[in-house]
Structure 1
Amino acid sequence: MSTPPVLSVRDVDVVRDGNPILHEVSLTVRAGEHWALLGANGAGKSTLLGLLGALAHPTRGFVEVLGHRLGRVDMRRLRSYVGHVNPRHDLRSPLKVHDVVLTGLTNTLERVPRWEPTREQAGTADRLIALLGLGDRRDARWPTLSQGERSRALIARALMPSPRLLLLDEPATGLDVAGREQLIERIDTLQRTCTGLASVLVTHHLEELPPGTTHVLLLRDGRCLAAGPADEVLTSDQVSKCFDHPVRLTRVDGRWSVRAGRPAGERGVNAVAG
């Protein structure tokens, strides 16, 4: 018997204050798949991610997260089983990295008073910190971290409850080249290490996609332009339509890059063996 999908979205519409944001969007994500939501600013990516993270209800259609249909489940409880990484983490206290990661267990910004992790939980935090490349920053204070280090710490935090689903909302926002590359490398390591984990990453920059990206959904004006395996969806023609601008895609060593313009008659990805 096949395993139920981690996420199931069927014919979803979202209307806010009379404004249509998503139109008849469908998506199925299974364990071990790593999806990217791509589209121009205002395409509806963050709205869709909010549905996947049980932060909002659709206006029409249905959404099932980890087998639970929105509208028939305690949303707050369901969110505790989803690893949702928001780079706009509003932490004001100078917590150490280790303590920030541990707050993933309590789903709070700050350490809960008089709460102490078990030895096993503290060990899990240390393993995740090392996996995200922050072993030498375990005791560093939050205000001293670079933006890239903060992004990786928040991913470790989101993984503390051992979620089956990880949602990444533009995790490379505000990073310089070094920070972006370190982040992508660690996300790629994570995807290869946690084989049962499903993930969805939102971005509008193809250069930010990890090599382990398996599937892509292209959104344009709130509608699904294309969805499926990454190599089938990420073509020069499809991406040009998605962003309403002619572009040429190349892929080297598993990473995509984009240039403006497209030679006449070119179709698909100009793949380069890495």
Structure 2
Amino acid sequence: MILEASNLSLRRNGSYLLKDVNWTINKGEHWSLLGLNGSGKTTLLNILNGYIWPTEGTISVLGNRFGTCDLGDLRKKIGWVSNSLQEKMPPTNNPLQIALSGVYASIGLYEEPSEDTIAKAVQLLTEFGCEEFIERNYNTLSQGEKQKVLIVRALMAEPDLLILDEPCTGLDLFAREQLLLMIQKVAEKEGGPTLIYVTHHVEEILPCFSHTLLLKAGEVFQKGQTDEVMTSATLSKFFGTSLQLEERRKRKWLSLV
């Protein structure tokens, strides 16, 4: 079991940020988490990583029940890529240094990696198309290039669970599609991590995401297999307006009716 959340709720100042969230992820499943801004996505992610404690309910991640495990050790098995992490990276480090820091879960590289570890980082950076800018300072990279490097950094630690928190935010069309292609490759890697992809854009949900959870106002609106959840009728109710869902090249695309 990758994730088992039971009746998760979080209250602040008398209001629910999350309410009665039940969510199970089995090994071999990749999930998308879809919700508008303010739906509770980031709050839920913080709970999954043990940074926020729920007011009610129980949660287990990678077989570790919160309250009975060392969260520090657990976090080493979870990769998390977000825009906020991007801003914390040392600006003058190059992509190789950034990738290597993932082995030590540090912001910046302060240890001397082995030759094998360096070779692994170079191999991953090359595999995912980062070799052309491997020697440039991180602060000179484009938004999309930075996100690629952060995903490689997360993979260096060989996580069992990789959370991608709106990784395409701020990217142009071409950079977005390049990054999504990389994510599809990560999902297809044998022995790779379980993915949770967080977004509020339906068209970013790739074919590899077999399951989808719709989160609205802190509550689970619907969850299950993506093809069953992602319908015109369901998404019209979810977003509160008439929508038409079309499928092109195994991706979903929304338009107003």
* Residue deviations 1:146-173 (CA, integer Å, cap 9, x gap): 0000011101101111111000110001
Gaps of 5+ in 1: 262-274
Distance 1:179 1:248, change over 3 A: same
Q: How many residues in Structure 1 have an aligned counterpart in Structure 2?
A: 255
Query: 2:141 is matched with which residue?
Result: 145
Cα distance, 1:166–1:136 mapped onto 2, change above 3 Å = same
Q: Give the AA of the match of 1:68.
A: N
Closer, same or farther in 2 for the Cα pair 1:195/1:245, shift >3 Å? farther
Letter in structure 1 aligned against 2:101: T
List aligned pairs for 1:8-23, cutoff 5 A: 8-23=4-19
Superposition RMSD on alpha carbons, in Å?
1.3
Q: Is the 8 A contact 1:21 1:222 kept in 2?
A: yes
Corresponding position of 1:271: none
* Contact residue 7 and residue 67 of structure 1 kept, 8 A: yes
- Please name the residue that 1:100 is paired with: 98
- Tell me the equivalent position of 1:264: none
1:58-107: CA deviations, max 9, x gaps? 11111101111112222222111101111222224310100001111111
TM-score, normalised to structure 2's length? Answer: 0.95
8 Å Cα contact 1:131-1:190 kept in structure 2: no
SS at match of 1:10: strand
1:203 correspondence with 2:199: yes
Matched with 2:74 is 78
Identity %: 36
Among candidates 220, 230, 251, match of residue 224 of structure 1: 220
Deviations 1:22-73 (A, max 9, x none): 1111111122211011112111111111222232221111110111111222
Q: What is the letter of the counterpart of residue 127 of structure 1?
A: Q
Alignment partner of 1:121 out of 101, 114, 117? 117
Q: Using the alignment, how far apart are the partners of 2:190 and 2:171 within structure 1?
A: 25
TM-score (normalizing by structure 1): 0.89
The equivalent of 2:31 in structure 1 is 35
What's the CA shift string for 1:205-242, capped at 9, x where partnerless? 01122221110000111111111110010011111122
Report the Cα distance in structure 2 between the residues aligned to 1:220 and 1:26, rounded to whole angstroms.
13
What SS does the aligned partner of 1:125 have? helix
Aligned ranges for residues 1-274 of structure 1 at < 5 Å? 5-88=1-84, 89=86, 90-112=88-110, 115-261=111-257
Deviates more, 1:175-184 or 1:8-17: 8-17
Q: Secondary structure at 1:109's aligned position in 2?
A: coil
CA contact (8 A) 2:186 2:192 kept: no
Shifted more, 195-204 versus 252-261: the winner is 195-204
Query: Greater CA deviation, 204-213 or 96-105?
Result: 204-213
